[in-house]
Amino acid sequence: MPAKSLPVENDGPDETAGPSKSEQTRALILETAMRLFRERGYDRTTMRAIAQEAGVSVGNAYYYFAGKEHLIQGFYDRIAAEHRAAVREILDRETDLESRLAGVLRAWLDVAAPYHEFAVQFFKNAADPDSPLSPFSQESEHARLEAVSVHREVLAGARRTKVPEELRDVLPELMWLSQMGLVLYWIFDRTEGRERSYRLAERGARLTARGVALARFRVLRPLVLEVHELFTDFLPGMTKVLPDPGRRAAATE
């Protein structure tokens, strides 16, 4: 894959400018690490080896990434950024919830395809929700918020879908959770071209669209809220997601 600039860290403006030298170095280290993780496995790859292969000093590598775990966060951020770019066209075109969601899930499978082998190896490091490498960890928050915000947009732009106010923050997170279910399935999918995962994406989108449509019934809302509450109470990273007033304000416009 091309070593393009990845302004995925939320550390300032500069997003319209071309990639700075610093961004290029950062991207190069990340590329190299991902390649070595794929070739040698995460556990057997050292920061020293990554620096060496990238042609930078060890100190320089540590300047950009405080450790291997941070490289994984960089990887999550990259996937999230690539995904966000890939869904732009779908979200601008599709107007019904099922098509929007199916498109977003398919785009994720497309973006992640080159990393499948790595994901299989890496799974045992990321499955533990208390690991900083888990998608639920505090450390993964940046990538997770990016991903949840895609689902927020999926929902907000679905023309015929009326979402009750009280579910507006909750549903995008549940949709992201079901995307995590798809990711888990994809990791173990050995079919040619991950064909089953693509089918699951379609089916999952249909099911979710139905679920969201039903969530407008007043009798169901407490259940939806309780499901969400259960996840936020029992998964580490999610607890802090809801009460952030900035996000809440953005969601209601």
Task: Name residue, tokens 């679920």.
Answer: 211
CB closer to a copy of itself out of 3 and 230: 230
CB closer to a copy of itself out of 158 and 187: 187
Binding site for a copy of itself (CB under 8 A): 123-124, 127-130, 185, 188, 190, 196, 200, 203-204, 206-207, 210-211, 214, 217, 219-220, 222-223, 226-227, 230, 233-234
Q: What minimum distance in Å lies between the beta carbon of 2 and a copy of itself?
A: 32
Q: Count CB neighbours of 4 within 10 A.
A: 12
Helix (H, G, I), strand (E, B) or coil at 219: coil
* CA–CA dist 104, 110 (Å, integer): 10
CB closer to a copy of itself out of 80 and 182: 182
Q: What minimum distance in Å lies between the beta carbon of 36 and a copy of itself?
A: 21
CB closer to a copy of itself out of 129 and 164: 129
Q: What minimum distance in Å lies between the beta carbon of 148 and a copy of itself?
A: 21
Contact 217, 211 (CB under 8 A): no
Q: What minimum distance in Å lies between the beta carbon of 178 and a copy of itself?
A: 11
3-state secondary structure 18-80: CCCHHHHHHHHHHHHHHHHHHHHCCCCCCHHHHHHHHCCCHHHHHHHCCCHHHHHHHHHHHHH
Contact 158, 96 (CB under 8 A): yes
Q: What minimum distance in Å lies between the beta carbon of 82 and a copy of itself?
A: 26
CB closer to a copy of itself out of 165 and 233: 233
Of 85, 72, 18, residue with least CA distance to 43: 72
CB closer to a copy of itself out of 61 and 183: 183
Lookup: tokens for 71: 């490289």
Q: What minimum distance in Å lies between the beta carbon of 161 and a copy of itself?
A: 15
